[in-house]
Structure 1
Amino acid sequence: MKILHLETSSKNCSVAISNGNELLCLCEERTGDYKQSENLHTFVEWALEGAEITLKDLDAVCLGMGPGSYTGLRIGAASAKGFCFGLGIPLVAVNSLVSMAEPFLGNGYDAIIPIIDARRMEVYTAVFDPNNGEMITKTEAKILDENSFDEHTGQRVLFVGDGCTKAQEVLKLPNAEFRSDVYPSAQYLIKKGVEKFKNKEIEDVAYFEPFYLKDFQGVRQRKKEIF
């Protein structure tokens, strides 16, 4: 079961190849701006070469569907659809916040909370169970203030993502830890992507849209709740 994983929702343009749950190759680069349109297909070529397979060997494409950068998500979705249509293989989609929580599971936290920087004091966020990685609150766009996440007061909470910089300035959670250097990565889509593929949780390639979460420049998007 060879799957191409694409994650383009942030400044980290990331491509991985897996065989089942085994990571065969990872190619990613984090830049100060968004260069997915320049780098994505080159990274796919490099990852396939590193995994010693070709496009024809792929069984599916797994996409980090957002939330995140509108432009980055559009580029990733267009590429994923192109591969699926061209190769006649299915598409599975995973919430990009999953890949931010995945590497920190089982480390003794009471909650893991990815926070992606949005406009002003807003972040995209959800709360994850620190043991099994399940999302225990829906993904939302949240305005940060001193009372945000106060239900976790007294708990050992890990916040991850580029929204940590402004979160640290306002949150009143003495036991919280912050990791602003964490971005969505294709390698951490593998577990959930394989699970969805096995369970036949397949997207309709023709009608699939990324999880933008918010409207962009007056374009109305159908609201979704992603768990």
Structure 2
Amino acid sequence: MKLLVLDASTSICGVALVEGNESEIKLISSIHLNINNAHSERMMLLVEYVMQQSSISSKDIQAIAVTIGPGSFTGLRIGLSVAKGLAFSFKVPLVTVPTLEAIALPWIDHYRRIWVALTSRKKEYYIAFFEDHNVLIKGQVWKFDELENNLLQGDLLLTDDPISFGELSGIHTSNSQDGLPNVFSVGKIGLTKAIAGIYADLDNVVPDYFQGFRGAS
């Protein structure tokens, strides 16, 4: 199965092509740009680029995957809009991928306890907590102090804002890049869901903002 993958949930705009089955998933091609407020102008150009680079046409694509949130209000809206348009145009189903699960995926086999903290606004974060491969907390917004008080020695903290957390004793803190979604990880989750037949309702799917829109992001 071949999957076209889109991510516009943060400042990074990424597109990839992945293919695979239940036992193996591989990256065919990918590209990303880290340019604020340029997703609407660049997303389709990136889609065209990865498809041309891979010599793959719309007839080869069997599903579309997109990050559904949380993240940038504007980015999520643009990403989902483009993904839905492509799904209708290619006549293929759509798969949605939670942003925080995509961030955690590369580390899930290496740490027993993983926290993902993606900046919502100053000193507030979209939170997910994984323990022994299970998601125990998701869909919540926490303040800085609340998250800091729940961290235990040996935990991994994946965040796009490591400077605010500083040096936390006994806590493994990511660099800012590892605190953002990787488009290949989005593709891995998306392809697994597509193989299982877990598709979104194209007519009714909306971004998962976690909370109301309170200004530009």
Q: Which residue is 1:122 aligned to?
A: 124
Check conservation: 1:100, 1:184, Cα contact below 8 A: yes
Answering whether residue 42 of structure 2 is matched by residue 47 of structure 1, we say no
Q: Which runs of 5+ in 2 are unaligned?
A: none
Q: Which runs of 5+ in 1 are unaligned?
A: 219-227
How do 1:15-94 and structure 2 match up within 5 A? 15-20=15-20, 21-31=25-35, 33-94=36-97
Q: Distance in 2 between matches of 1:80 and 1:37?
A: 12
Q: Which residue is 1:2 aligned to?
A: 2
How do 1:137-156 and structure 2 match up within 5 A? 137-145=137-145, 147-154=146-153, 156=154
- Aligned residue identity for 1:214: Q
Q: Distance in 2 between matches of 1:202 and 1:106?
A: 26
Check conservation: 1:160, 1:181, Cα contact below 8 A: no
Q: Distance in 2 between matches of 1:28 and 1:120?
A: 26
Counterpart secondary structure, 1:148: helix
Q: Which residue is 1:112 aligned to?
A: 114
Call closer, same or farther: CA 1:149–1:139 in 2, change over 3 Å.
farther
Deviation at 1:216, TM superposition (A): 1.4
Provide the TM-score with structure 1 as the length reference: 0.85
Q: Which residue is 2:171 aligned to?
A: 176
What is the root-mean-square deviation of aligned Cα atoms in Å? Answer: 1.8
- Aligned residue identity for 2:15: V
Percent identity between the aligned chains?
Answer: 30
Q: How many residues align?
A: 209
- Report the more deviating stretch, 66-75 or 97-106: 97-106
Provide the TM-score with structure 2 as the length reference: 0.89
Check conservation: 1:117, 1:162, Cα contact below 8 A: yes
- Aligned residue identity for 2:34: R
Check conservation: 1:24, 1:50, Cα contact below 8 A: no
Q: Distance in 2 between matches of 1:49 and 1:205?
A: 26
Q: Distance in 2 between matches of 1:97 and 1:137?
A: 11
